Structure 1
Amino acid sequence: MNDLTNQIERQQRRVEKTMVRLDLANKAKQINKLEEESMAADFWSDNRKAQTHMQQLTALREEVSTWQGIATQLNDLQGLAQLLEEEPDEEMQAEVAQAIPPIEQQIERLQFALMLSGEHDEKNAIISIHAGSGGVDAQDWAQMLQRMYLRWAERHRFRTEIYEYSEGDEAGLKSTTIEITGRYAYGYLRSEAGTHRLIRLSPFDAAHRRHTSFAKVEVLPDVEDTIEITIRPEDLDVDTYRSTGAGGQHVNKTDSAVRMRHIPTGIVVTCQNERSQIQNREVALKLLKARLYELEQKKREEETARLKGKHVQADFGTQIRSVIVHPYNIVKDHRTNHETSDTEGYLDGDVDPFIFAYLQEQAGGVITADEA
């Protein structure tokens, strides 16, 4: 029976340490303040500001109530365990023992989220995939990656929307841009930015020889509502054209697709998903803001690195992960050395083990039951 009590107490200490790290006491005060502000008579006069306010309030409430709920569950189990020490009951003991693993699993999932503490980790993600060297195979590889991330998002019950899709010459795609909507979407997917390599027997080679192909993945946070980026109308060069590729009945009937170029930086974004030119223009502006924010972040990082005397590679030339399906099956991340032989599962969206390995390395680990 002591073993049961010890299990519960280890999880209690783990939760207590985590709640201190999260500063939940201060967040409870923030909730009270936000609730008071939301009661103001002119609260909804600025609708966008009010929505951001309510989103923050909802997130804080969810975080605090979740950890408080776990602490209450463990306290209740501890009380039962202590009672069972005095009055043993095998059936009740089995019920208490069965209640502990689900709580441990919930704590594991929540502590995984603790690794997502970056400035924009909670935000939606804008992911772009570009075929690299490798010809038709690279374009097919880019489409395989698109499917993989869509399947990954589906597993997490995230909403996805394809904003841009440029078909390949013979197969696959040249580029695509997808918004993945869900809490921590960017925090998860920022680990995927970089060059991805595929080695396989080419289905496009008559001799069925082994080919190596590359695709570049870019991941940006949706910062439209949280950062002030001024884009002057005179700095924009906007073209309209007819959409191509997947997009429903409206595609190819009107010049609804929008291509937007930011003249000072040369950044180009496109959107062809929405039914109207106005909607596509709004989405293109959002994509442009995200890319301008990324550009500004790179400048800051390069300046910091220059002051520190370190060299920073400014482009996306670093190979982060390889998928090999011939002569053997393996997926390997070159940053963390995490690998799996289940290439089929990986390409079907089972990317979390690689994401977890990267985030754990970046965060320096989380509080485990052994440490508690």
Structure 2
Amino acid sequence: MTDTPSARAARLAHLRRAELAKGDPVALPLTLATMFHLPGDPAGYAQYGRFSNPTWDAVEKMLTHLEGAPALGFPSGMAATAAVFFGLLKSGDRILLPSDGYYTTRVLTERFLTRLGVTYDTRPTSTFLDGGFEGYRLVFVETPANPGLDICDLVAVCEAAHAAGALVVADNTTMTPYGQRPLDLGADIVVAADTKAPNGHSDVLFGHVASRNAEIMAAVSDWRKLAGGIPGPFEAWLVHRGLETLHVRFERMCNTAEAIAPRLAAHPAVSKVRFPGLESDPSHNLARAQMDRFGFLIGVTLGSEAAAERFINDCALIQPATSFGGVHTSAERRARWGDAVDQGFVRLSIGCEPADELWAALEESLNRSEG
């Protein structure tokens, strides 16, 4: 079977089949144990809840299948990122971060890594190659960047960073493994917040790290075990269930985003739209080259803060909330968190509502927001 998103989705639905004995439940059982029956030599067996859990194992098997690389689960996307930083970096190391990516990664670095002797620089995603990568131990990319949706050339970044002796970490939260495969494009490590589309129901925090480098995964695994940054079994069970429908939801969300983005761009209340699927988007050609889909996030800039707030709050089919990737369409004005975006910039996360009904609600709210 070929390695396409559809082929991976088809196999994902049957991963448990090979492990089932006659009479076993098809659905994954939830294992809440912290202690395991362990007489004699404990080697090769489940030992303690901070070391391993059968429910973790199952969701990590799914993530490994989707990433095409060993994956480890964490209690949030930031926990996954922190495990990479604290598991791999040492005093004297220098790292590069996107200046327009998720702000918490920069805050974590400034407040905690710098205390340990790690230095950092930032650079815009759209010009991430400018200046080269000499002297960096680790290069962290987020493409498309959250929230502005700029894109960098992952293949070129990875080649240049590796030539300079740096590791490349790619945050793939906005795209999921069905939309983009950073490891196939040269990245050493993928981190992601499965809180978003992979779980998809806005009811659990989760994240993962994936890499084809055994030494990297051993270091990240040791950090998780010793620092205790472990996922809960129930959270892992919920993400396992969410992953079973990710392909269906992601396809619906991407299709709807592609239908709605040009309509938003044509509306008189909208001054600017960022969406990689638009031919007019500055990242469109690069997105076509390195992404399987264009994603479900749309950046919409309205004329003012007040217009943006009215658009979000008055739309019957928008959930005003932070985060993204749920089955419901959601939106927020990102400047309220301090992101370097226009005061009227709205990050719109397209959900699973029927496209025509969703557009009708968005258009009605846009028309009112002009007043």
Which category of TM-score, normalised to the shorter sequence, fits these structures? under 0.3
TM-score (norm 1): 0.24
Structure 1 or 2: more helix by fraction: 1
TM-score (norm 2): 0.24
